Structure 1
């Protein structure tokens, strides 16, 4: 015996439901012996069967009843709506709805605009044109930082610039101001005049937010192009013509391969945080993009270090670059304090909460996305306003969490290295390494989020009993005093005022 699993067995006789008696008699006569039925008559009344749940189960199963042809698709049901709106085979596809207005064409700048009459800023003394200086004044920039003072005059002369500076030292205006000042002509559709390559989406947004109000003063447009945002809207904006594109490598390559973008007219190229792009393995992609910039161009590169793959980019794609540096290759901010704490695994989150209670904003770096989520939940259970950002979150969620942190709604941001690269917030009081950084370079990039704009900052590393060797390796690489981590518990009052650790020394 062969059992069929396509339809449950049904007891009783199947007969059409809802048909007139004449049809029933005709069906009966057709099934009676001696009756003759043509094939066309049989095909004229096909039957569709479905479970009849109205009369209840029979022997543990529901009977099956046929559906009358006129009752198969009643108006207003899902089946009728699908049949009415389905696209016929071979018919042309419907036209895509026009995109919504792109809000990120001119992203809101984090700088406070100034309504006072124009007065020349300190940038004017560096040779910056008045129209660009007006944009700087409107955005609230008054005086240049050290890296800007050194880099802008050289870049305004059209020379290639190779800048070594830490994150948060003012690199964005160091390359953005001379770029806006030296662009010549108007951008054609899909043919930008300036290109800025950055390693992460967050950095692309932040660079654009700094440059947009300055660009408005000289009638220029800036567009961030990155993955996770609407590709169609970015294409539509490029088709209208954009002067400066701030892009991540992979999304830019995607648009180039689809012929939605042409870099043959780019006059100025900037590689921001080139060492991070090299560390992430983007060097081949960066070189591929640079080969697409076929016109004579000025190239500016900014990085915390200038060795390895970064040195290869400098040697191959830059012409007689002028090196500008404001610090030593492994130096950190002078107002940054380093603290290494020995903690117990079960007490780490409480230690983080105690440290965060002494600062308005704290960033906690974790090695994995799973650790980020766990630390976020544990901190929230302890009453800390915390949120996590990492690669598994949607771009909109990451941007929303970053904005809440920037606006002061959150006191703690838990992040992975990749998600936090490019975060440019000046008033971060402490950076907590939930585990010791993998090497000195990672430690410097993480810690560079604090001690900005002349403020003091703390770089705190939490080490468990089996991580003390990593701490000593980091201390040697950073040329810090070799000292064992200070053993603490979460109830130590010094955690709420880290300066007490310095006074104890």
Structure 2
């Protein structure tokens, strides 16, 4: 039985906004951490992307912050990517609005003057990437004196992306007493170092997530022909509302978007060669349902946090089982199910067999053509050698 937000100590006005959004009961990570965070404890939460951790730290932040002076935020949320900064802001802003709490996303690659103007108007909560935050501190446009809560979100990814020196620089420059909430998919190595140095007697909470996403995914492996491959992918995407497709290269991502559009499927790409504004627009259109397909490369996918992706298609098979799990984990999030389809050409069969072995999967890889009706409902179809 899940717990209601009221029961966890979330204030009635904030719980009311959640209720209006259709959120009445907490996810596991929220259930474990909210009460401790509200009590002012330092919290260490082990949870994967998509587990609902934004509200796990966001609600205690919104409930406890006071009104901010110009350029002196009350809470900072450090995140690894611009996309995540934007997403945290979009999730928390409507809830904070009920108390006139302002939330801003601060990241590089966007107009710094606009961000400074926002800070000067007074912002209670900022979700920021470390580099841009240091820029603003150096320019004396951001003062950390009043910060009472610090959140480190996806600490392991910040470490992977080489941001630890910047993160530690920021943490060392927060002068007053403050509460620190840390969330990460792993709590060892560098992340453990952060916990030891910057948290005081933290309470640890862990959501058992090993294999959960794979268990709630339906996985299919289909042999296709080069000339028919795009049509197969288009047919599968039509059976869902939001499909994420993965290619190995940026060039292939762009090419696939053009080919899908020719098939009447609305698609856009997200990869490192695109301008930040283009990436944000594609992601926003995808989240809003204006696009049914988003085509991504592995690196770009790290910034994608969309809850209701129902299909993931590995248009190009992933490099290894880790990449497969990372890509596939974009569906079957927050307790939902999801369909994951790997398309392979005749010369990729051995490679995909090896992948299956690492995943503990043993499925037939039937040859399928784009006119086959099974593509309209792969979830309920039972894979057989020949179709």
- Residue of structure 2 aligned with 1:300, choices 178, 181, 187: 181
Q: TM-score, normalization: structure 1? A: 0.69
Q: Which runs of 5+ in 1 are unaligned?
A: 1-120
Q: CA deviation digits over 1:280-333, x for unaligned, max 9?
A: 222222222222223222222222233343333333333333222222345426
Distance 1:218 1:494, change over 3 A: same
Aligned residues: 383
Is the 8 Å Cα contact of residues 304 and 329 (structure 1) preserved in structure 2?
no
SS at match of 2:194: helix
Q: Does residue 404 in structure 1 map to residue 291 in structure 2?
A: no
Q: TM-score, normalization: structure 2? A: 0.89
Q: Does residue 158 in structure 1 map to residue 43 in structure 2?
A: no
Q: Which has the higher contact order (CA 8 A, sep 6+)?
A: 2
Q: Distance in 1 between matches of 2:210 and 2:176?
A: 33
Q: Which runs of 5+ in 2 are unaligned?
A: none
SS at match of 1:388: strand
- Tell me whether 461-470 or 291-300 shows the greater mean CA deviation: 461-470
SS at match of 1:290: helix
Q: Match for residue 129 of structure 1?
A: 11
Please, what is the CA RMSD of the aligned residues?
A: 2.6
Alpha-carbon offset, residue 212 of structure 1: 0.8
Radius of gyration: which is bigger? Answer: 1
Q: Does residue 340 in structure 1 map to residue 231 in structure 2?
A: no
Q: Does residue 208 in structure 1 map to residue 89 in structure 2?
A: yes
SS at match of 1:128: coil
Q: Distance in 2 between matches of 1:153 and 1:280?
A: 31
- Residue of structure 2 aligned with 1:257, choices 134, 138, 145: 138
Q: CA deviation digits over 1:80-116, x for unaligned, max 9?
A: xxxxxxxxxxxxxxxxxxxxxxxxxxxxxxxxxxxxx
Is the 8 Å Cα contact of residues 364 and 383 (structure 2) preserved in structure 1?
no
Distance 1:276 1:443, change over 3 A: farther
Q: Does residue 497 in structure 1 map to residue 377 in structure 2?
A: yes
Alpha-carbon offset, residue 170 of structure 1: 1.2
Distance 1:477 1:256, change over 3 A: farther
Is the 8 Å Cα contact of residues 138 and 213 (structure 1) preserved in structure 2?
no
Is the 8 Å Cα contact of residues 223 and 365 (structure 2) preserved in structure 1?
yes
Q: Distance in 2 between matches of 1:178 and 1:473?
A: 45
Distance 1:165 1:474, change over 3 A: farther
Distance 1:256 1:443, change over 3 A: farther
- Residue of structure 2 aligned with 1:149, choices 31, 35, 38: 31
Q: Match for residue 227 of structure 1?
A: 108
Q: Match for residue 100 of structure 1?
A: none
Is the 8 Å Cα contact of residues 468 and 484 (structure 1) preserved in structure 2?
no
Alpha-carbon offset, residue 346 of structure 1: 4.1
**Aligned ranges 1:171-182 → 2 under 5 Å:** 171-182=53-64
Q: Match for residue 371 of structure 1?
A: 252
Q: Distance in 2 between matches of 1:404 and 1:213?
A: 19
Q: Does residue 191 in structure 1 map to residue 72 in structure 2?
A: yes
SS at match of 1:494: helix
Q: Distance in 1 between matches of 2:103 and 2:307?
A: 23
Q: Match for residue 76 of structure 1?
A: none
Q: CA deviation digits over 1:385-412, x for unaligned, max 9?
A: 1111222222222222222222222111
